[in-house]
Amino acid sequence: MQRENLLITTVGTLDFVSSWLQDDRNFDIALVYYPQNITEEVKTKLENIADYVFYENGFKYTVLKSVLNKHPYLLNYKYFWMPDDDIKLVKGTTNLLFETADQYSLGISQPSTSSKNISWKIVRHKPGYILRYSNFVEVMCPIFSRSALDACLDSFSYSKSGWGLDFLWPTLIEEDVAIIDKIMVEHTKKINLEGGALYKKLLKETGKTPSQEMLELEKKYDLKMEPGILSFVYEDSILGYLKRKIAGA
């Protein structure tokens, strides 16, 4: 029987997938394994973890667009979470992530992150908040409503690196965008803005850097690359109370 939500993403390692899992989950799992060579051991692990397993090479969002277009039955879910495979869930649960997105009718959202290995300070975890409405959600672990995914899916191939999509997506939807502080993840890998394998692959295939891809999107869609917080929802806690008092709420 199909569950309500779908965790769908590309993986080259299963090191942190276990942190996403739980008993009595409210989500199905679709994993796209992209390395060309796969052992029987890894294949068995994938099949034991996931409800759907696919094998396809490429960049994360172009691959996800391809898989979703080839298998449209995967679009018959309420919410879709797409974490990078180096994302470790350290506070809350995946069930709670989906439940919070649904409770607040969010179009695109993401869990907050620890202070390790982040590119944008705006996504850093803020104690005392349930969520912060924003104009930005990073590409490393977004969660889409069905309608938001319908609006954004075609754009998944506009930037192979993913750079710039996080500024474009909020302009394509009419629903709210938010960072969910009730949930926190850790980006486990150190960010390499210049010489990482992803960027070398991109340069070889397209002759572009991630920065060039982002600049092209910025110009084409007249994007404002200024992430900001619009409003807050506070926790019902002493810390939340203090933050409300300080903010005059």
How confident is the model over 64-77, as pLDDT tens digits?
999 999 999 999 99
The burial of 156, by beta-carbon neighbours within 10 Å (0-12 exposed, 13-18 middle, 19 or more buried), is given as buried
Average pLDDT of the chain, as a whole number: 91
Residue with tokens 């938001």, as numbered in its chain: 148
Helix (H) or strand (E) holding 130: strand 129-134
| Nearest by Cα to 168 from 87, 108, 208 | 108
Terminal Cα distance for the chain, rounded: 44
| Nearest by Cα to 232 from 141, 142, 122, 152 | 122
Per-residue confidence (pLDDT) for residue 3, from 0 to 100:
96
Per-residue confidence (pLDDT) for residue 199, from 0 to 100:
74
Answer for the pair 198, 209: CB distance below 8 angstroms, yes or no: no
Domain that holds residue 155: 5-247
- How many Å separate Cα 170 from the centre of its chain? 13
Distances (CA, A) of 25 to 34, 106, 237: 25, 20, 27
Average of per-residue pLDDT across 44-54: 95
Domain count, the chain: 1
Lowest mean pLDDT among 25-29, 112-116, 144-148, 193-197: 193-197
Answer for the pair 171, 221: CB distance below 8 angstroms, yes or no: yes
- Report the percentage of the chain scoring pLDDT > 90: 72
Q: What is the pTM of this model?
A: 0.92
Answer for the pair 94, 27: CB distance below 8 angstroms, yes or no: yes
Q: Tell me phi and psi for residue 16, to 5 degrees.
A: -115, 5
- How many Å separate Cα 218 from the centre of its chain? 20
> What residues are paired with 113 via a beta bridge?
124, 185
> What residues are paired with 11 via a beta bridge?
33
Answer for the pair 9, 84: CB distance below 8 angstroms, yes or no: yes
Determine how many CB atoms are found less than 10 A away from the CB of residue 13: 12
Determine how many CB atoms are found less than 10 A away from the CB of residue 146: 16
- Most confident listed range (55-59, 90-94, 112-116, 191-195): 90-94
Q: What is the CATH number of the domain that holds 22?
A: 3.90.550
Helix (H) or strand (E) holding 11: strand 5-11
Tokens found for residue 167: 């500024």
In angstroms, rounded to a whole number, what is the distance separating the alpha carbons of residues 46 and 55? 11
Distances (CA, A) of 171 to 16, 83, 193: 31, 21, 25
Task: Render pLDDT for 152-202 as a digit per residue (tens, 0 to 9).
Answer: 999 999 999 899 999 999 999 999 999 999 999 999 877 665 556 777 777
